[in-house]
Chain A
Amino acid sequence: MSKVMGERPKALLDVPLHYCPGCTHGIVHRLVAEVIDELGIEGKTVGVASVGCSVFTYNYFGCDMVQAPHGRAPAVATGVKRARPDNVVFTYQGDGDLAAIGMGETVHAAARGENIVAIFINNAIYGMTGGQMAPTTLPGQVTQTTPYGRDTSVAGNPIRVCELLSSVNGVALAQRVTVDCVKNVKAAKKAIKKAFEYQMAGKGYCIIEVVSTCPTNWGMSPADSLQWLRDNMLPYYPLGVYKDVGEEGEQ
């Protein structure tokens, strides 16, 4: 007799995901959906999909969804939240979306202390368009548009988003997690849940950065990608809590 060990969370619809094998989006989707289920908030949650691989999240999450222009998810989420303050609003954005074209919207939503949660997937590359340099691409990293490796004297330096946002008043929680192993997946879920709880308590802008992989555009197997993440991404993007206003809120 076979036994169901882990059911699909209700907040994740029963549709096939389009992500490549080994991509960590699937894990993060599941964590967000589990948190929504556990908090019992699917009926009042509005998700904002961004542009990039995660654009189709509007087909995957069972809550109401709005698809935002590239980088504008924080502004769209601001509009939703200001119109419907009783709704729970989250964005799901990649690194190109959040840290390149949408950096302005991100910093200002954070500074306003918008009561929204940003789930930020940092895999150091533009996945959807076929592997171009992202604002988080590591020095020396080869991408389609840094074929000789990212030369920081020409192409600039990777941006550490959580560190940057940790200096912004209005941010309630800025935490970097990853999903490379069971322990870290559990920690990631805990962080995501905390972010949603903070929003429901009206604490302000919360960002959970998930250091992620892109086996297809990194040109590696899923297992090698996870090892590359540990060896290269985590030293540049250390896991941890960069800001947490805690129980008392902003001091």
Chain B
Amino acid sequence: MSEKVLMKGNEAIAEAAIAAGCRHFFGYPITPQTEVAAYMSKRMPKIGGVYLQAESEVASINMVLGAGAAGVRVMTSTSSPGISLMAEGISYAAGSDVPCLIVNVERGGPGLGGIQPSQSDYFQATKATGHGDFHLLVFAPSTVQETVDLISDAFDLGDKYRMPTMILSDGLLGQMMEPVVLPEPKDPTDTKDWAAKGHEGKRPHNVINSLYIEPSVLEKLNFERFEKYEKIKETEQRAEEYLVDDADVIIVAFGASSRIAHSAVDMARKQGIKAGLIRPITLWPFPEKTIRKHIDHAKVFLSVEMNMGQMVEDVRLIVADRKPVRFFGRTGGVVPTPREVLEQIVKLNGGDY
């Protein structure tokens, strides 16, 4: 399957998951991720997989928890309000160390919000997807091809670290069509010795659980989980750098807004402004190392997001007070234009922070 095919972002998510060996999908309809589920409902029965429409997002994430606990590659996809409903189950999956893939094709919020693209679930994805001390590995693709590639990585790393992973897409990436090369199909072997799949009389029972009544035991488990998170922070940060080595004005943008920022950087360069782009590919762990490398030579950082300013807080944490960190964003489903971003670059380049 090395030829290029034209695919819609949402359908590419589904096909990439199948290629990664996922045969279990549980979901509930919501715009703008509908095509993921529709595609799965068509494909899964033909390849011996399971597609099941649950009665709610609450049920679908718990079906994911059950299938993940039983040791298979499993996923769900939803959009912003659906993630809020899944918060409980995601926390249980994290607390029970059950790998699973959650796709969020973000839409505008809060509340029922809108159905147009947004990035306003950054906080939710990276800081507090549910109750308790935990993180997800969060990937933010910016093209359909990258979505395909990251789905495969998300499954592999989720299994490696025994934790839930998230693809943070949005209505723009989900709905656009781009040429993609799908990877060779994988058949992950059934090697999860920890799973609840029947002990066959060969070992003591496995218990998939997140309840620990004794505080010192729960604390110890949380310490261990955070040691794992520290390792992940060290090894799994990913970011793309575009024209940043000599840049004065450095934009930080992910996903759909990074595409716009990319165009704005090109426009600025044509005007002789040294603009560059750092594009986080992992949102958790946040690519601190990449940003840190450029603090010395940058004059100013600009976080461009489709929300009211969320990732900018993480950029500020790293840059601290060493350089100004500014924000530009549109929200509610409004997508910023390259020209709007360019105006910000020009202003900042002129020293108007």
Specify which of A46, A65, A104 is in contact with B209 (CB 8 Å cutoff): A65
Report the Cα distance A64→B70, complex, angstroms.
10
- Contact of B317 with A by CB under 8 A: no
B92 touches A69 (CB 8 A): yes
B72 touches A83 (CB 8 A): yes
Report the Cα distance A61→B204, complex, angstroms.
11
- Contact of B62 with A by CB under 8 A: yes
Contact with B along A56-70 (1 / 0, CB 8 A): 001101111111110
Residues of B within 8 A of A64 (CB): 195-199, 205-207
Report the Cα distance A87→B195, complex, angstroms.
13
Specify which of A13, A43, A59, A79 is in contact with B69 (CB 8 Å cutoff): A79
Specify which of B55, B71, B74, B202 is in contact with A104 (CB 8 Å cutoff): B55
With A72-B59, A76-B62 given, is the CB distance from A45 to B198 under 8 Å?
Answer: yes
Residues of B within 8 A of A76 (CB): 62-63, 65-66, 69
A78 touches B52 (CB 8 A): yes
Report the Cα distance A79→B56, complex, angstroms.
14
- Contact of B210 with A by CB under 8 A: yes
B70 touches A42 (CB 8 A): no
Report the Cα distance A200→B216, complex, angstroms.
41
A63 touches B55 (CB 8 A): no
- Contact of B96 with A by CB under 8 A: yes
Residues of A within 8 A of B24 (CB): 79, 82-83
Contact with A along B62-87 (1 / 0, CB 8 A): 11111111111010000000000000
A79 touches B207 (CB 8 A): no
With A66-B208, A80-B70, A80-B196 given, is the CB distance from A42 to B59 under 8 Å?
Answer: no
Residues of A within 8 A of B209 (CB): 49, 58, 65-67
Q: Taking the nearest CB of chain B, how far is it from the CB of A115, in angstroms?
A: 13
B96 touches A104 (CB 8 A): no
With A43-B200, A58-B207 given, is the CB distance from A83 to B55 under 8 Å?
Answer: no
Specify which of A13, A42, A59, A80 is in contact with B66 (CB 8 Å cutoff): A80
A65 touches B58 (CB 8 A): no
With A43-B201, A45-B198 given, is the CB distance from A66 to B69 under 8 Å?
Answer: yes
Report the Cα distance A43→B196, complex, angstroms.
11
Specify which of B54, B62, B195, B200 is in contact with A69 (CB 8 Å cutoff): B62
Report the Cα distance A102→B345, complex, angstroms.
53
B70 touches A87 (CB 8 A): yes
Please provide the chain B residues from 307 to 334 with a CB less than 8 Å away from any CB of chain A in the complex: none
Specify which of A43, A55, A72, A82 is in contact with B199 (CB 8 Å cutoff): A43
- Contact of A84 with B by CB under 8 A: yes
Specify which of A49, A55, A63, A79 is in contact with B70 (CB 8 Å cutoff): A79
Specify which of B50, B92, B205 is in contact with A63 (CB 8 Å cutoff): B205
Residues of A within 8 A of B205 (CB): 13, 61-65
A105 touches B197 (CB 8 A): no
- Contact of B29 with A by CB under 8 A: no
A67 touches B74 (CB 8 A): no
Residues of B within 8 A of A55 (CB): 211
Residues of A within 8 A of B58 (CB): 72, 75, 104-105
Q: Give residues in A with beta carbon < 8 Å to B.
A: 13, 42-46, 48-49, 55, 58-59, 61-69, 72, 75-84, 87, 104-105, 108
> Can you list 16 A-B contacts with CB-CB less than 8 angstroms, sorted by A residue number?
A43-B199, A43-B202, A46-B198, A64-B199, A65-B206, A69-B62, A69-B65, A69-B88, A75-B62, A78-B52, A79-B70, A79-B74, A80-B196, A82-B63, A82-B67, A84-B72
Apart from A79-B69, A84-B72, 19 more pairs, CB < 8 Å: A46-B70, A59-B207, A64-B197, A65-B196, A65-B207, A66-B66, A66-B208, A67-B207, A67-B208, A68-B66, A68-B92, A69-B92, A72-B59, A72-B88, A78-B59, A79-B24, A79-B62, A82-B66, A87-B197
